Every structure is written in structure tokens, then in C-alpha cells.
Structure 1
Amino acid sequence: MKPMFALFMGVACLSTAVVGLSTTAALIVVEHAGAAWSGLPNAVLVLGSAAGSLSSGALAARYGRRFVLVLMYGAAVAGALISFAGVLGGSVLALVAGMPLIGFGNSGAQLSRYTAADLSPEHRKGFALSTMVWAGTVGAVAGPALIAPAAARAEAAELPALSGPILAGALVVAVAVAAVASLPRGLAAPVEGVPRRERMSVRNPVILGPLVAMVGAQVAMVAVMTMTPVQLHQHGQGLDVVGWVLSAHLIGMFALAPLSGWITDRWGGRTAIFGGIGTLAVAAVTAIGAPDSPHLGIPVAMFLLGYGWNLVFVGGSGMLSRELPPAQRARAQGTVDAFVWGTSAAASLLAGHLFGLGGYVLVAIAGGLCALVPLAVIGRRAAVPEPVEKVVRR
């Protein structure tokens, strides 16, 4: 199996499993503990993603990316099996206990985009990592589609219906493990001749710029996205409208990732980030101006919200892949991802409080402001090297 295809397969399988597992886990928790706790499985999964990203960066710097990918995806299989056992035993605690390990697998999927960049020439790094982001499209479509047939199979086997999607998720992640295990053993091995513990600081402008931009975009996206279904529900919209609006958002988040990669390679990561910030700002203004428009205003806002996040995410990742010294790269990438995923959990909780205080408009205002904050950091940065593609074409 070719390395890029193996990485793509791993991310596609992992994202499929995560979408199905997190959705099913939320349904199980509602059934056993009430709607107030429905967000717990996803919050724990996100925290696991943050912890996994932090550790995966250090481990990748020491042992190479192939080892970490196999380890993280393997942890996700174990987590899904723990959750499956919890469903069989009627234990919500065991169900939730498996979610951090599934989050570890998600951190492996994030690491894959940097691995893809390592495998590519300088003028193609942005596009290479964007294909791994695009793999999330597979999960967005296949994950929900997996739930009903897996539940039916479980019922046919006289098991709890919702245990089926959990077990199916474990099997799908096992395919991801097999895919990344086929990667060359020397892939992205530690850099020889460079101290492994070379000092790294997030104050380094090359790290700080992408870090602040990606965190700002993540907070803006998660806050508005989390409250959009609530806003639609309060205005009497059914699940069909909610599903359609979220589909528009997911298309923006993943489907256009190769375009973001091309922009990053052609004009540089900073240009992609600036474009993403502008798109997020337009999304916020659209949501503020049309909070009661479920068939036009909100879907457009959600699409722009997704694509603005994508531009910032791909552009920031491209900067970290291209501008950092090899000795610092893996740890810095893991640290940035840990910050991004850690703030996701906080953004989800904060969005609920803001919605209670001032409704959807206040959430959109806060999201737009968070998206603009990185301009203060990115704008002060010294000019970065010209995009490699421009140099090559001369």
C-alpha cells in the first residue's frame, strides 16, 4: 500500500468511526442519564484528543510518526472495545471511559496531515496535508450512515441495538491500524545529529502565529456550530432542516480542503489564514444578520464558518510543516494541536452560557471576535519566506 493512500485510509476510517461512535454514545447517555449529560462523551473525546496530540508530538520526535500512528489508532480500538463492553453491561461510566482513548486515535488522524507533508516536496506540502483534512469528508458521510445498519445487525444478534455502532467503530478503526502499519518503518524517523530536546517555545513567531490563528478559528467554529442546532430547534425546525444545515457546514469544513492546500502552496500559509479569518468574519456577520433564516441565512453562515476554519487550519498547518526546523517540528505540531483541541471543549461549554445570556446572536458576535483576535499576532509577524511554488516556477 502506497504511503499517501495508507495515511488517507487511516484518516478516513478513523473519522468514520469517531462520527459514528460520538453520535451513538450521546444517544446512549441521553437514554440512561438524561439530555443534560448528552455532551459528556464528546467533551471527554475532545480532551482525549488534546492529551493525545500533546503526547504524540513528543513521541513522534523520539520514535517517528509510524510508531505513533499505530499506537494512537490501536488505543482507539481499545477505547471502542471498552465502550462496547460498557454498553453490554449497561454501564455509562465504562462507555465514557473508552472515549479518551478514541480521542487518542483522533490525535493520530491529526498527526497524519503532518506526516503527509513530510512525504511531499516543499511546493506540495500544503496540498498533501489538505488531502488528509479532505479525508474527513468520508467520515462525515459514512459515519452517520453506519449507525442504522450496525444497530440492526446488533439487534439480529440479540445484543443492545446501540452496541452495534460501537462495535462497528472498533472494527473500522482496526482497518486504520492495518493501513498505517503498512507504512515504511523508517517513515519520519527522529532527525539524526540534532538534539531531541532542543528548546521549543510557543513564543517563537513561527509557532505563535499559526497557534493563535488555529485556536481562534477553532473557538469561533465550535461555538457557533454547537449552538446552531439549538437555535433551529427553538424556532420549530425539524431534524431534516438541522441535518441539511449541518451538511452544509461539513462540506465547508472538509470538501474544499484541496483548494485550501493549493492556496497555501501558491501564496503561502499566511495568505490562507488571512482569507480564513475574513471568511469567518463574514460567516459571523451573516449569522448575526439572519438568525431566523433556516433555509438561507444560517446554511450560508454555516458553510462559510466551515470553510473559513478550513482555510486557517490548512494554512496554519502548512506554516508549521514548512517553516520550523526538523528538530522542533513534531513537538511544535503536537503542542499546537493540543491547544486547538483543548480549547474546543472550553468553547462548547462557553457557547452554552452565552446562548443562555443573549441567544444565538451573542454567540455569533463572540465567535466573530474570536476569529479576528489572531490578526493582532499574525499582522505583527515578520514577512515569511516566499511560497516555494513561486520560487520553483521562476
Structure 2
Amino acid sequence: MFRPVRTGRTTHESFGGVEARFGCLASVTMGNPVRTRSMVTLFACVALMNTGMAGATTTATLIVAKANGPGWSGVPSTASVLGTALGAFASGFVLARVGRRFALSLGYALASLGAVVAFAGAVMSSLVTLVAGILLLGIGQGGAQLSRYLAADLYPPERRGFALSTVVWGGTVGALAGPSLIAPAARMAGWLGLPALSGPLVVTGVAAGAAWVASVTLPRVDGATQAAAQVEIRTVLRRPVVLRPLLAMIVAQLVMVAVMVMTPLQIQDHDHGLDVVGWVVSAHMIGMFALAPLSGRIADRFGGRVTIAAGLGALALATATAIAAPTAHTTGLPFALFLLGYGWNLCFVGGSSLLSRDLPVDERVKVQGSVDALVWGASAIASLSAGQLYVGGGFVLVSVAGGTLAVLALALLTCVPAFREVERVECG
């Protein structure tokens, strides 16, 4: 029944995409049509979810600021981030017990429910209801983030970086489509006699619902992952094979979020309009998502450790550029924000590739969810800290703090023996 296929140093079983028998997670080597269908579905789901989230968080921020004052405007973003962290953590446990298709479908179903709740909050002008909906959307987004690991499992180890980066690239669609749909959706809601800002939340609901429908069509390719339920997460997180990507991804998230959230304020404080804000933020979003396949190729060719080192170096260069040219809104600042986004992408893809290749099946699924939860939880810390740093020393101080973190992390990963130790789990 089983025909062993030798790919590199790892033995894979090629019957029905079943995981190998040797205690490690082999890639799901299935026929090309089934794998292609799975990849297209995962990409589409992530693109749809990112489209919905981009519009929902922006709209919710505007609704809260208008109804409750600017002091409350950060609440929806915080709810979204915390929901994403919670969703990533919980999805790891669900994946370990019942499989990927059910876990993804559950996440997208919660996101669809969240969109309905948020829409009701917008119509009723209820802050609590609106924030509850955004929190549910974030939980669904957290589950969607794990799609990149599911894509990686469809390929042999030497191609997993490219596979997961292809799904990450789906964020490009959301980054471009989400904000562009806000104005048309608001006009349509007005024509229907609804509050204008409730319109984008309808788009979010449609996008999340479409992602749920698509996720239900994923082929069944799950192997047995029951052993993952017995993993001691705290012990595994301290091992170099996990600690290395975890440190890189958390630092990248802290630096990226801190500098990014203060950039619009820096631009407006120097008397530039929303057109300049849009141009600089667009440069940043292109860096974050558009070059993800290139990051995947780098990870496959040179390894995850080299990729995250390059990412931390890019983050350090980005913050140095922001320090040197904090008001150069047509040159230095867009370049700095592009590098900031791409440095984050290199760390995100490189760290994810390490986690998708270097862990056995009894640890991988839950650890990936736990790492994502910690990474997204870092976003909340970065957002709160960045505001205080900006008040204390302006945009330059925020950039100095971010650059210092990136350099320290790079030094730890390259110089400290505990982080340099190679601890790769081989299959077969």
C-alpha cells in the first residue's frame, strides 16, 4: 500500500498524503492536482480574510473615535491583536486533536460570526458589541495565520519555505483590496439607509463567509497528530530549535509595529496630508507582503537562520534610515518603511520555515500556534510602548529603540552559543 519516496534526507509515504511512520512529520506528498487545489484554497482563504480584516479594523477605529472620542480609538486594534493571539494559540490545540480542515473552518466560521456582531455594533452604535465582533474576527484571523504551516506540510522540506511564503503573499491582496473597498461599501450602506461605516463590515462578513466555504472544500490530508496533545509547551519553547525563530519573530513584530504605528503621526506632525500617509504606508505594505515568495526562496536556498539574520539586518538598516531622514517623506521615509516591512517578512518567513521543518509531529502543531500567539501578543506591547516613546522623544526615539532591539537580537542569534546550536530533527 505504501510506496516510500526518497526526497533529500527525509523518507515520505505517498499513499493518500498520510504522514510517515517514523515519529517525525513527513511532508504530505500527494498528487499535483490535489496539492495545487489545496494551495489555491489556502491562498484564497488568507487573501479573503486579510481583505475583510483590513477594512474591519480601519472602520471600527473610525466608528469608535467618532462615537467615543480619540482616546478610545485604539481599542478595536487592541481587540483585533489580542483575538489573533488567542486564535493562533487555540488553533494549535484544535489542529492537534481534530485536524487542519476542521480547525480552519472553525476559525473562519468564528470570523463570520464576528463580522455579523461587529455590524450589529456599528448599526446600534454599541462600543461593547462592536469590540466583541472585532475580537471574534481576530480569533478567526489567528487560525488563518496557521494556514502557512499547512501549506508547508504539502511539500518536501527543501520546498517548504516557498510553500508557506506563497500563502503569506496572499496578504498582499488584502492589503490592497481591503482599504480600497471601504469608501464604496460606505456609500452603498448610505443608499440602503444604514450608517455609512457599517458598509465595510458587510464586506468583511462576505469575505469571511467566502473563506469559510472555501475552507470546507479542502481535501482531507491529515495524518495522526494525537501525540501533540501531550507536549509540554514551556519546555519545548526553551529549546534552541524553537527559541531561535521565536526570538527573531517577536523582535521583528515589536520593531515593525512600533515604527509603523507612529509613522502616520510623524508625517502629520510635519504638516503632510493623508496622500503622503497613504504613499508611505503603501511602501510599507509592499515590503511586508509582495516579496514573500522571494523570502521563501531565500529560506529554501540558504536556510531559515540566514533568512532571519538578513531580516534583522534589514530592520536595523530601516530604523537607521528613519533616524537619519525622519522627515524625508518622498525618499528616506518610504525607503525606511519598505525595508521595515521586508525585514519583518524575512524574519516571519524564515522563522516559520524553521518551525515547519525542524520539529517532529508530536510537537509541531501546538508549538506553531503558541509561537504565533506570542508573536501577535507582542504587537499589543509594541503599540502601547510606541506611543509612550513618541511622547518622550518623538519618532527618532521610537526608531532608536527599534533599531537597538534588532541589533541585539542579531548579536544573540549569531554570537551566543545557545542560539547558534544546531538542533534539527531528522526523519527516518
Q: TM-score scaled to structure 1, two decimals? A: 0.95
Q: For residue 127 of structure 1, report the CA deviation from its aligned partner.
A: 0.3
* Counterpart selection for 2:222 from 138, 163, 188: 188
**Deviation sequence 1:188-227 (CA, Å, 0-9, x none):** 34336x4631334210111100001100000000000010
Q: For residue 370 of structure 1, report the CA deviation from its aligned partner.
A: 1.7
Q: Is the 8 A contact 2:47 2:173 kept in 1?
A: yes
* Counterpart selection for 1:291 from 318, 326, 333: 326
Return the index of the structure with the highest Cα Rg: 2
Q: Is the 8 A contact 1:65 1:189 kept in 2?
A: no
* Counterpart selection for 2:267 from 223, 232, 244: 232
Alignment gaps of 5+ in structure 1: 389-394
Matched residues, percent identical? 54
* Counterpart selection for 2:231 from 187, 198, 217: 198
1:119 aligned onto 2:154 = yes
- Give runs of aligned pairs for residues 60-209 of structure 1, distance below 5 A: 60-185=95-220, 187-191=221-225, 194=227, 196-200=229-233, 201=235, 202-209=237-244
Q: Distance in 2 between matches of 1:75 and 1:371?
A: 35
Q: Which moved more, 1:56-65 or 1:211-220?
A: 56-65
Letter in structure 2 aligned against 1:92: L
Q: For residue 369 of structure 1, report the CA deviation from its aligned partner.
A: 1.4
1:325 aligned onto 2:325 = no
Q: Distance in 1 between matches of 2:339 and 2:390?
A: 21
Q: Distance in 1 between matches of 2:193 and 2:420?
A: 63
Matched with 1:244 is 279
Matched with 1:391 is none
Q: Distance in 1 between matches of 2:180 and 2:335?
A: 24
Letter in structure 1 aligned against 2:166: T
* Counterpart selection for 2:291 from 256, 259, 262: 256
Q: For residue 320 of structure 1, report the CA deviation from its aligned partner.
A: 0.1
Q: Distance in 1 between matches of 2:208 and 2:229?
A: 31
- Give runs of aligned pairs for residues 4-23 of structure 1, distance below 5 A: 4-23=39-58
Q: Is the 8 A contact 1:212 1:377 kept in 2?
A: no
Matched with 1:47 is 82
Q: Is the 8 A contact 2:240 2:421 kept in 1?
A: no
Q: Is the 8 A contact 1:223 1:350 kept in 2?
A: yes
Q: For residue 373 of structure 1, report the CA deviation from its aligned partner.
A: 2.9
Letter in structure 2 aligned against 1:199: E
Matched with 1:311 is 346
Q: For residue 376 of structure 1, report the CA deviation from its aligned partner.
A: 4.5
Q: Distance in 1 between matches of 2:302 and 2:369?
A: 25
- Give runs of aligned pairs for residues 364-375 of structure 1, distance below 5 A: 364-375=399-410
Matched with 2:30 is none
Q: For residue 372 of structure 1, report the CA deviation from its aligned partner.
A: 2.4
Q: Is the 8 A contact 2:228 2:361 kept in 1?
A: no
Q: Is the 8 A contact 1:69 1:180 kept in 2?
A: yes
**Deviation sequence 1:343-364 (CA, Å, 0-9, x none):** 1011001000000000000000
Matched with 2:396 is 361
SS in 1 for 2:311: helix
Q: Is the 8 A contact 2:228 2:364 kept in 1?
A: no
Q: Distance in 2 between matches of 1:51 and 1:72?
A: 11
Q: Is the 8 A contact 2:187 2:196 kept in 1?
A: yes
Letter in structure 2 aligned against 1:306: G
Q: Distance in 2 between matches of 1:342 and 1:385?
A: 26
What is the RMSD computed on CA atoms of the aligned residues? 1.6
**Deviation sequence 1:358-387 (CA, Å, 0-9, x none):** 00000000111122232354223345489x
Q: Distance in 1 between matches of 2:290 and 2:228?
A: 39
Alignment gaps of 5+ in structure 2: 1-33
SS in 1 for 2:149: helix
Distance change (3 Å), C-alpha of 1:195 and 1:97: closer
Q: Distance in 2 between matches of 1:377 and 1:212?
A: 9
Q: TM-score scaled to structure 2, two decimals? A: 0.88
